[in-house]
Structure 1
Amino acid sequence: MHIHDLITDTKTLAALCERLAKSEFVTVDTEFMRENTYWPELCLVQIADENEAAAIDPLAKGIDLSPLLDLLTDNEDVLKVFHAGGQDVEIVHNLTGKTPHPIFDTQIAMMAISQSEQIGYANLVESWLGFGVDKGARFTDWSRRPLTDNQIEYAIGDVTHLAKIFPRILKKLVSTGRGVWLDAEMEKLADPANYENDPAIAWRRIKAQGRNPAMLGRLKALAAWREGEARHKNIPRGRIVRDETLASLAMSPPKKQADLTKVRGLSGAWKDNDIGKRMMKVIEEAEPLSKDELPERGRRGAPLGKEGALVSDLLKLLLKIRSREIDVASRLLARSDDLDALAAGMRDLPLLKGWRYEVFGKDALEVVEGKLAFGVQSGKLVMTHIDDMPENGMNGGSRRNKESARDNASESAA
């Protein structure tokens, strides 16, 4: 593979992107700094295909990233491959209002062919290529210029290694027939709505107790106000006010600005400074949250109760065993709150649709409805329909052992 020198001009970048546009896929990674800013500061972009790789300096004087951004967002013929690419996609969205498409994330893909929930890049390289990755440059200041040869070599390695790994992962997905399992997950990663940071819904990221409309209305107003302050100053939102402080203010709002000195997490200066004045105005003018915006009770609605909690525990055991049987990350099959919801009586759930239903949801539903019992024999899951059980329990020829059916389902899913 040909490794280019650091690209610092538009002409060289445009020529690179013209060649890469003829490839079936490109691997992409970014280096950025966001510790001191609201918006992540893009410091380096690495890109490769099977033949060449380069690092691009977005901080170089006069460089225009348009050829690169057009390749990532507008060229539908080239698959864009990332590893744990959420923050990389966010950066592209911040610059263009669009996301890379079509897209493939190797961390997500590993969930369909292994029990790895969130495999790190170093572990990915070691498992597929058999060597370790030098992490020495990982936490360096990527905004400082000039970049060292060690920094550039480390950064480009992220995409050259990925260019070797991706075809192998793809081959395994094809051989197992599990590629279709990932379609919705990849589209979710590419959904621009995930990266828009709408101030009106910023309150949903903050943990707060209760469903009191007045309290949640204040939280919504305060969270939106904080987003505006952080964006205007381009500093992390936590440097304006921390989440727990916003929740406390929403729960027990001060009556006057001088009372802000009593709020944990605020300095004494808030009692008479301008930002304190602005925040008090927000609190005073906040409207109660509308009924349509109120969060659902519990995780998804109806409370579980004691019996429901026991059923949920059985479902979680079933999920653990099934994911081990077919070598897939359990989180790809079902989330914990989905199992709670199923035990509580809800049915409009992802695990009861499509391939998830065939692989796991069908049996999970029958457990909830009392149609299926399961146990473990010799480390393998054995399931029996209640109608097939003799009066004196499970034994002999009257048991319908679904172990072989599960194996067949695994092979067909594969």
Structure 2
Amino acid sequence: MEAGYSEKVDELCRRYSLEGFMKTIDPETIPSETHYLHLNELVLEDIIWVDEVEGLLSATSHIEGCKVVGIDCEWKPNYEKGSQPSKVSIMQIASEKSVFIIDLIRLFEDEPNALGSCLKRILHSPSILKLGYNLQCDLKQLAHSYGELECFKHFEMLLDIQNVFKEARGGLSGLAKKILGAGLNKTRRNSNWEQRPLSPNQLEYAALDAAVLIHIFRHVRSQSQPASVKGGQSNVEWKSYIISSMDDTKKPKNMVKRKKKWKKCTVVSSQSN
């Protein structure tokens, strides 16, 4: 409530039957709404939901024509101690103008071979640079969720934006605020990503998490010394963080800068990004 997340307050009140709670709140004690990044500010043309083979093939063809894409994943949080983590529910893949939100659960149930084949064309491609934030945690979660699929056992051309800006605080939202002038509304991160259909707010959140990576990367690539982040990396140096090949989400291979390694990450039941 103090952070101004009125939507989350409403959700928790409903979950825990706190009917009288909101009546006790003094509206003047609630801070004015923080400005968050919106999709229209990123000039996106399409958010495309993909849950059948025809759409998956179309999305794959589009993505194969891109040099750089942003990738993110969402899964339902599980707070029960000792329980297995939830399967990754969706994978978002963003190009400059479009975001494809792939229903992994549905496609894995209906067309696992097609899903594995299409994602292999993207994730194993050495000609497509895949951007992420805290990327290895997502990759571990994907491998844990869909270990039967070969597409999640090998990756080519990865760049974890988190490693380029190690000093940035506040996660991806904090980095977006420093680079783009507005952060991300993360209140929907722990919502139920297995519900279908996803709400418009969930779709916007998912699309933003992937699309913002493209815009941050554009800034990194175009600025020899990013002014928005103190101690930013040079235009030449960011290339040294690219991981050319990685198998089974273990230690990266063929890294240009050997001393830069993945941070240790374990499979967890809720997202850390």
Q: Same fold (TM over 0.5)?
A: yes
Contact 1:73 1:98 in 2 (8 A): no
Aligned to 1:99: 154
List gaps (5 residues or longer) in structure 1.
196-330, 336-414
**Which runs of structure 2 are paired with 1:31-180 in the superposition (5 Å)?**
31-33=74-76, 35=78, 37-38=83-84, 40-60=86-106, 62-63=110-111, 64-93=114-143, 94=147, 95-96=149-150, 98-111=153-166, 115-116=167-168, 120-172=171-223, 175-179=234-238
Tell me by how many angstroms 1:176 deviates.
Answer: 4.5
Q: Hey, what's the Cα distance between the residues in 1 that align with 2:53 and 2:142?
A: 18
List gaps (5 residues or longer) in structure 2.
1-43, 225-232, 252-258, 264-273
TM-score, with structure 2 as normaliser: 0.61
3-state SS in 2 of match to 1:75:
coil
Work out which structure has the larger RCO, using CA pairs closer than 8 Å and 6 or more positions apart in sequence. 2
**Which runs of structure 2 are paired with 1:6-405 in the superposition (5 Å)?**
6-33=49-76, 35=78, 37-38=83-84, 40-60=86-106, 62-63=110-111, 64-93=114-143, 94=147, 95-96=149-150, 98-111=153-166, 115-116=167-168, 120-172=171-223, 175-179=234-238, 181-183=240-242, 186=243, 190-192=246-248, 194=250
Are 2:45 and 1:2 equivalent residues in the alignment?
A: yes
Structure number with bigger Rg? 1
Q: Hey, what's the Cα distance between the residues in 1 that align with 2:186 and 2:77?
A: 19
User: Which letter maps to 1:51?
Assistant: K
Contact 1:92 1:98 in 2 (8 A): no
Tell me by how many angstroms 1:33 deviates.
Answer: 3.5
Show CA shifts across 1:110-129 (max 9, x none).
13xxx33x650100111111
Distance 1:67 1:171, change over 3 A: farther
Show CA shifts across 1:156-191 (max 9, x none).
1111111211121133468543235425xx358x34
Contact 1:48 1:159 in 2 (8 A): yes
Distance 1:68 1:156, change over 3 A: farther
Tell me by how many angstroms 1:90 deviates.
Answer: 1.5
Distance 1:179 1:150, change over 3 A: closer
Higher helix share: 1
Distance 1:72 1:98, change over 3 A: farther
3-state SS in 1 of match to 2:189:
coil
Q: Hey, what's the Cα distance between the residues in 2 that align with 1:152 and 1:41?
A: 18
Tell me by how many angstroms 1:41 deviates.
Answer: 0.2
Distance 1:21 1:175, change over 3 A: same
Higher strand share: 2
Q: Hey, what's the Cα distance between the residues in 1 that align with 2:217 and 2:180?
A: 11
User: Which letter maps to 1:22?
Assistant: G
Contact 1:84 1:107 in 2 (8 A): yes
RMSD: 2.9
Q: Percent identity?
A: 21
Q: Hey, what's the Cα distance between the residues in 1 that align with 2:244 and 2:127?
A: 16
Show CA shifts across 1:89-120 (max 9, x none).
11343342523311011001113xxx33x650
